[in-house]
Amino acid sequence: MSFAELLDHVGGMGRFQIIYAILLAIPVFMMASHNLLQNFTAATSEHHCHVHININNTPYTNLTGKLAAKDLLRVSIPMDSNQQPEKCHRFVSTQWQLLDSNATVTNLTELETDSCADGWVYDKSTFTSTIITEWDLVCDSRQLKQMAQSIYMAGILAGGIVFGGLSDRFGRRSLVIWCYLQMAVTGTCTAFSPSFTAYCIFRFLTGMAFSGIVLNGVSLSVEWTPTRTRAIVGTMYGYCYTTGQFILAGVAYAIRSWRWLQLVVSLPYFICFSYSWWFAESARWLVIAGRPDQAVKQLKRVARINRKKEEGDKLNIEVLRSHMQKEIASAKSSYTFIDLVRTPVIRRISFSLCFVWFSTSFAYYGLAMDLQNFGVNIFLILLVFGAVDFPAKFISILTISFIGRRFTQALALILAGLAILANIFVPQDLKTLRTVLAVFGKGCLAASFTCVYLYTSELYPTVIRQTGLGLSNTMARLGSIIAPLVKMLEEYIPFLPLIIYGAAPIISGIAATFLPETLNVPLPETIEDVETRLVESIGRQEQEHVHKQEMICMIR
The proportion of the chain whose per-residue pLDDT surpasses 70, expressed as a percent, equals: 83
9-48: pLDDT as tens digits: 777 778 888 888 888 888 888 888 888 888 888 888 777 7
- Say which residues have a Cβ less than 8 Å from residue 54's Cβ, sequence separation at least 6: none
Inter-CA distances, 381 with 32, 40, 183, 246, 432, Å: 15, 12, 27, 11, 12
Q: First vs last Cα of the chain: how many Å apart? A: 45
pLDDT in tens, 418-445: 998 988 888 877 777 878 888 899 889 9
Across the chain, mean pLDDT equals 80
Model confidence over 448-497: pLDDT tens digits? 988 888 889 888 887 788 788 778 878 888 888 888 778 777 767 878 88
Q: 173-189 burial by CB neighbour count: b if 16+ within 10 A, else e?
A: bebbbbbbbbbbbbbbb
pLDDT in tens, 345-358: 889 999 999 999 99
| CA 523 – CA 457 distance, rounded (Å) | 8
Cβ–Cβ under 8 Å, residues 403 and 231:
no
pLDDT digits (tens, 9 = 90+) for 263-295: 999 999 999 999 988 888 887 778 777 787 888
What does the alpha-carbon distance between residue 264 and residue 242 come to, in Å, rounded to a whole number?
18
For 127, the 3-state DSSP assignment is coil
CB 200 within 8 A of CB 148: yes
Please give the Cα distance from 403 to 216 (Å, whole number): 27
Residue 59 has pLDDT above 90, yes or no: no
Distance of CA 262 to the CA centre of its chain: 18
What pLDDT score does 458 carry?
A: 87
Q: What is the C-alpha separation between 287 and 298, in angstroms, rounded?
A: 11
Rounded Cα distance between 385 and 442, Å, is 7
Q: Please give the pLDDT value at position 453.
A: 80
Position 86: which residue type? E
> In angstroms, rounded to a whole number, what is the distance separating the alpha carbons of residues 333 and 319?
22
What are the structural domains of the chain? 1-43+136-330 (1.20.1250.20), 47-122 (no CATH), 332-556 (1.20.1250.20)
Residue 73 vs residues 61, 66, 102, 522: alpha-carbon distances, Å: 15, 11, 19, 69
Question: Closest Cα partner for 521 from 451, 473, 448, 460?
Answer: 460
Of 198-202, 255-259, 356-360, 550-554, the one with minimum mean pLDDT is 550-554
φ and ψ of 519, to 5 deg: -60, 125
Quick one: pLDDT at residue 66? Answer: 45
Interatomic CA distance for residues 96 and 79, integer angstroms: 14
Euclidean distance between CA atoms 84 and 482, whole angstroms: 33
| DSSP-derived secondary structure for 478-531 | HHHHHHHHHHGGGGTSTTHHHHHHHHHHHHHHHHHTTSPP-TT-PPP-SHHHHH
Return the exposure string of 38-48: e unless at least 16 CB atoms fall within 10 Å of the residue's CB, then b.
Answer: bbbbbbbbebb
Q: Are 88 and 116 in contact (CB under 8 A)?
A: yes
Q: How confident is the model at residue 317 (pLDDT cuts 50, 70, 90)?
A: confident
Give how far the C-alpha of residue 397 lies from the chain's centroid of Cα atoms, to the nearest Å: 19
* pLDDT for residue 545 is more than 50: no
Number of CB atoms found within 10 A of residue 260's CB:
15
Whether residue 534 is predicted with pLDDT greater than 70 in this model: the reply is no
Q: What is the model's pTM?
A: 0.75
pLDDT reported for residue 263: 94
Question: What are the residues whose beta carbons fall under 8 Å from the beta carbon of 137, sequence distance 6 or more?
Answer: 42, 131, 144, 145, 196
Rounded distance, CA 356 to CA 406, Å? 11
pLDDT at 108 over 60: no
* pLDDT at residue 190 tops 90: yes
**Do residues 93 and 112 make contact, with C-beta atoms less than 8 angstroms apart?**
yes
Work out whether the CA dihedral 65, 69, 75, 80 comes out positive or negative.
negative
CA-nearest of 213, 207, 205 to 175 is 213
| Predicted confidence (pLDDT) per residue in 321-377, tens digit | 766 666 666 555 667 778 888 888 889 999 999 999 999 999 988 887 766 666 667
Spatial separation of the C-alpha atoms in residues 276 and 180, rounded to whole Å: 8
Longest dimension (CA), the chain: 107
Count of positions (residues) in the chain: 556
Average pLDDT for 209-222: 84
Rounded distance, CA 501 to CA 512, Å?
Answer: 17
